[in-house]
Amino acid sequence: MRILRVFGLLVLLAALACGYLFYRIETPYQGFQDPVYVDLPHGMTTDAIAAMLVKAGVARSRFDFLLARMTHRGPVLQAGEYRFDRAASPRDVLDRIARGDIFFLPLVVPEGRNMFEIGADIERLGLFPAAQFVAAARNPEMIRDLDPEAPTLEGYLFPDTYRLNRRSTPESVCHLMTAKFREAWRNIQSGNVHRSVTLASLVEKEAKVPEDRPRIAAVFENRLRIGMKLDCDPTTIYAAMLDHHYRGTIYRSDLESENPYNTYRHAGLPPGPIASPGMASIHAVLHPAETEALYFVLRPDGSGLHQFSNTREAHMTAAEKYHRGLKKVR
């Protein structure tokens, strides 16, 4: 009987010990007020990670985190920066680090964004001023490796969703985006990259619906072939942005600007792209539609489709219909 009592006591003590340990690794703890960031370098030991978590107020003690690790030894702990903004148990913290749930800032770059707009998006994320990003995009050393003909990285900042972090710099973001462009272009390897991307950027800004892209590309190609000015509104807007006086709409002074990007004033393509074209616009430039059209204007039905015309007379009629449609809407 005495042996049974001793055995029962040991079982009870073991159960209490297990319960206590379970309590330690499953009880949420928060030793911070504002959100904290813990940056774990590659090659850190579990003990060193535990020390960093305690210092940041994420874990109550190194013992708690090491205990949680003992109960879950399989997964590799992932390096990276982690953000903690609420109480979490040692087990929860361990699970986050094991699955690599690192902190990142999503930068969504849709087709047609230019470097000024991308810079403003980054500034809104709180990383660095837009002007610093634009300066990096104009850095001759970065441009030289990509396309010696390009005046800036405009057009090569590939539209995609990027995961940035608090260590991201203007240069690293430019490298990230241009690397994505290189990857996309490797699957094409057709035509002159500078000419293709420049023309595709115009198509991207003009097209409202996918089916119009090859036809708009064809109109521009037809005009270029006969030496006719492109008269592309988005280039005039971009020229005004470069000159720091775009006012939200196009004025006569913008149309008369001598800026080389203004295709109302200068024949041929502008010096470089005016935005980041997507793959659909690049493909449209490489495979334009078969048409003799020289003009296009939006249809007044709100569909986003354009009316294409071979002659100026037909274009003026289509343009008049569009303007009458605008007046009705107003």
DSSP code per residue over 169-192 = -HHHHHHHHHHHHHHHHHTT--S-
Q: What is the pLDDT averaged over residues 105-132?
A: 97
Say whether pLDDT at 126 is over 60: yes
Domain ranges in the chain are 21-98, 105-186, 192-287, 292-330
Whether residue 241 contacts residue 251, with contact meaning beta carbons closer than 8 Å, is answered with no
Token pair in block for residue 237: 């807007």
Q: What do you get for the CA distance between the two ends of the chain, in Å?
A: 97
pLDDT band, residue 2 (cuts 50/70/90): low
Q: What is the pLDDT of residue 21?
A: 59
Angle at 163 between CA 184 and CA 273, to 5 degrees: 45
Say if 21-98 and 292-330 have the same CATH topology.
Answer: no
pLDDT by residue (tens digit) across 8-51?
545 544 444 455 555 577 889 989 999 999 999 998 999 999 99
121: left (phi over 0), alpha (psi -120 to 50) or beta: alpha
CA distances in angstroms from 225 to 30, 83, 202, 212, 269, listed in the order given: 68, 56, 16, 20, 11
CA distances in angstroms from 280 to 96, 202, 214, 283, 299, listed in the order given: 38, 12, 9, 5, 22
Sign of dihedral through CA atoms 175, 181, 187, 190? negative
Amino acid symbol at 6: V
Token pair in block for residue 9: 């006591």
Q: How many residues are listed for the chain in this entry?
A: 330
Token pair in block for residue 315: 């274009």
Distance of CA 60 to the CA centre of its chain: 38
Residue with the larger pLDDT of the pair 74 and 119: 119
Distance of CA 183 to the CA centre of its chain: 15
Give me the chain's average pLDDT, please.
90
Whether residue 146 contacts residue 153, with contact meaning beta carbons closer than 8 Å, is answered with yes
Of the listed ranges 100-104, 122-126, 186-190, 216-220, the least confidently predicted one is 186-190
Does domain 292-330 sit in CATH 3.30.720? no
Q: Judging by DSSP bridges, how do beta strands 295-298 and 306-309 pair with one another? A: antiparallel
Cα–Cα distance for residue pair 33/24, rounded to 1 Å: 21
Distance of CA 195 to the CA centre of its chain: 23
**What crossing angle do the helices spanning 193-206 and 213-226 adopt, rounded to 10°?**
120
Cβ-Cβ contacts under 8 Å for 202 (sequence gap 6 or more): 220, 230, 232, 234, 235, 269, 270, 274
pLDDT by residue (tens digit) across 226-238?
999 999 999 999 9
Residue with the larger pLDDT of the pair 322 and 258: 258
Cα–Cα distance for residue pair 143/164, rounded to 1 Å: 21
User: Per CATH, the architecture of 21-98 is what?
Assistant: 2-Layer Sandwich (3.30)
Percentage of residues in the chain with pLDDT exceeding 70?
A: 91
Cα–Cα distance for residue pair 169/184, rounded to 1 Å: 23
CA distances in angstroms from 122 to 9, 51, 131, 246, listed in the order given: 63, 33, 10, 21
Q: What is the pLDDT of residue 5?
A: 59
